[in-house]
């Protein structure tokens, strides 16, 4: 049995007994019934994920998967592929937005080279699981082979498993890869059946002419490759990216080990679609951190049935919105665990 097979086999349903116990406690806390809204629902979901009626969130991590894309040669991005390794080095030096926000919420940052088109010196905080030096130009054929797609997903599973050793109560997904909104739009268009123009945005900031070109290229990609919208590995292999596969693996690994996973923006949600196709039950372990400005993100969220925690007009990626989401997950669990009940506080309950 492969690592992917064993991981998929390990993903089970949420713990309904833990969820019922968490909900019962929520109903006894010193507040009107349901007054904390989605914070209550999040705490109950985390109880079901972890199997603990009183879940705690103290060990936090964000796993940033990095990879390059051959389709950048078609002019789909305002930035060259050389920026991918440069930003990875910025992450490793602690200077990027994800580093600042991770420090803010007390999360460690792990960067995984799943397919950067150049070699990055091995150093603390970097794990090299390079499938290849960037994907192939998917306008000319599949982005990768099916075997490479499996390797990319397993790289994410391995990264998640390695983080478990240091203690892990919640994980956020992050990405780095110039051009990766293009495969993300292709994935969303393929599974939803929506016109490419309705799920394709400006990415790193291309102009109107560039956006039209990007839409036309993605239409070419889908015609050329005909990805199967019901087969996650086929979809990933034909129109995906190595970091997208890696993020899907992080999500699957988290679900298999009963760890809540906060999904970042457009790229991470495209990866979540891959994960959900491979293991539909994995959707129960996902929490959407935020709603991205990228227009395809809304369609991706609706496809998965996920409601984002916040909408801050973010479009950076890196895991920034997901890490902010971790703080809300932690707050939700603290409210469940630390608030007093009516009886403990000596407060009279509502008379029905």
In a domain, 115, yes or no: yes
> Could you tell me if 66 and 156 lie in one domain?
yes
Instruction: Specify whether 151 is located in the same domain as 272.
Output: yes
Look up tokens 């990933």; give the residue: 236
Looking at the fold, whether 211 and 271 belong to one and the same domain comes out as yes
Regarding whether 25 and 110 lie in a shared domain, the answer is: no
- pLDDT above 90 (res 196): yes
> What residues does 262 pair with on adjacent strands?
172, 287
Mean predicted confidence (pLDDT) in 132-160? 98
| Residue 352 confidence (pLDDT) above 60 | no
Co-location of 26 and 78 in the same domain: no
Dihedral (Cα; 290, 60, 254, 124), 10-degree rounding: 110
Confidence (pLDDT) at 204: 82
Domain containing 326 equals 60-330
Residues 340 and 322 in one domain: no
Same domain, 13 and 108: no
- Taking only the tens place, the pLDDT of each residue in 254-299 is 999 999 999 999 999 999 999 999 999 999 999 999 999 999 999 9
Domain check: are 115 and 258 in the same one? yes
As given in the structure block, the two tokens for residue 36 are 């904390």
Q: How many domains does the chain have?
A: 2
Query: Rounded to whole angstroms, how far apart are CA atoms 297 and 294?
Result: 6
Has residue 118 been placed in a domain?
yes
pTM score of the predicted model: 0.97
Q: Pick the catalytic residue from 318, 330, 338, 348.
A: 318
Q: Is 318 a catalytic residue?
A: yes
Average pLDDT, the chain: 97
Residue in 153, 155, 148, 150 with CA at minimum distance from that of residue 134: 148
């Amino acid at each position: 049995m492969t690592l992917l097979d064993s991981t998929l086999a390990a993903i089970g349903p949420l713990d309904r007994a833990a969820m019922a116990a968490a909900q019962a406690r929520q109903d006894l806390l010193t507040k009107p019934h349901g007054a904390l809204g989605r914070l209550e629902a999040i705490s109950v979901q985390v109880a079901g994920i972890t199997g603990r009626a009183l879940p705690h969130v103290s060990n936090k991590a964000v796993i940033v998967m990095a990879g390059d894309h051959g389709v950048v040669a078609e002019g789909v991005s305002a930035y060259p592929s050389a920026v991918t390794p440069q930003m990875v080095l910025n992450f490793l030096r602690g200077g990027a937005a994800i580093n600042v926000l991770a420090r803010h919420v007390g999360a460690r940052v792990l960067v995984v080279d799943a397919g950067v088109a150049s070699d990055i010196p091995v150093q603390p905080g970097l794990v090299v699981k390079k499938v290849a030096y960037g994907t192939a130009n998917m306008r000319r054929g599949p982005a990768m082979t099916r075997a490479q797609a499996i390797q990319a997903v397993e790289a994410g599973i391995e990264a998640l498993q390695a983080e478990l050793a240091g203690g892990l109560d919640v994980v956020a997904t992050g990405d780095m890869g110039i051009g990766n909104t293009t495969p993300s739009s292709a994935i969303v268009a393929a599974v939803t059946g929506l016109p490419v123009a309705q799920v394709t945005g400006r990415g790193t900031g291309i102009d109107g002419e560039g956006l039209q070109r990007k839409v036309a290229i993605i239409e070419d990609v889908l015609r050329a490759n005909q990805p199967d919208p019901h087969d996650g590995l086929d979809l990933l292999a034909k129109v995906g990216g190595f970091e997208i596969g890696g993020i899907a693996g992080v999500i699957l690994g988290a679900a298999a080990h009963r760890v809540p996973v906060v999904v970042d923006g457009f790229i991470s949600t495209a990866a979540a679609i891959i994960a959900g196709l491979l293991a539909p039950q994995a959707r129960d372990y996902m929490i959407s951190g935020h709603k991205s400005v990228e227009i395809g993100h809304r369609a991706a969220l609706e496809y998965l049935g996920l409601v984002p925690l916040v909408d801050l007009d973010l479009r950076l990626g890196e895991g920034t919105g997901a890490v902010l989401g971790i703080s809300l997950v932690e707050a939700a669990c603290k409210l469940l665990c630390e608030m007093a009940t009516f009886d403990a506080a000596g407060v009279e309950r509502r008379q029905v």
